Structure 1
Amino acid sequence: MLPSELTKKITFSRGIRDGDLVIVYERHDIMKAVKVCESSVFQNRFGVFKHSDWIGKPFGSKVFNSKGRFVYLLAPTPELWTLVLSHRTQILYLADISFVIMYLEIVPGCVVLESGTGSGSLTTSLARAVAPTGHVYTFDFHEQRAESAREDFERTGVSSLVTVGVRDIQGEGFPDQFSGLADSVFLDLPQPWLAIPSAGKMLKQDGVLCSFSPCIEQVQRACETLRSNFTDIRTFEVLLRTYEVREGKMDYCQDDDLASVGNIPCKRKLSSNEGSNLQKNPSCPPIIARPCGEARGHTGYLTFARLKCFQ
Structure 2
Amino acid sequence: MTIARTQLVSPDITSYYHCVSRCVRRSFLCGDDPFTGISYEHRRHWVEQRILALAKIYCIDICAYAVMSNHYHLVVHVNRAKALQLSEREVIARWGQEHQFPPLIQSYLTGQLSASEYPACMKLIAIWRERLYSLSWLMKELNYHIALRANQEDQCRGHFWEGRFKSQALLDEKALLAAMAYTDLNPVRANIAETPETSEYTSFKRRFDALENNQETPSGLLPFIGNRSQQQTSGVPFRLIDYIEWVDWIGRQMREGKPGYIDHKHPRIISRLSLNQMDSLGLYSRLEKERGLWIGPKQRLQHVKSLLNRQRLHGITI
* Higher relative contact order (CA closer than 8 Å, sequence separation 6+): 2
- TM-based fold match above 0.5: no
Taking structure 2 as the reference length, the TM-score comes to 0.28
- Normalized per residue, the structure richer in helix is 2
Taking structure 1 as the reference length, the TM-score comes to 0.28
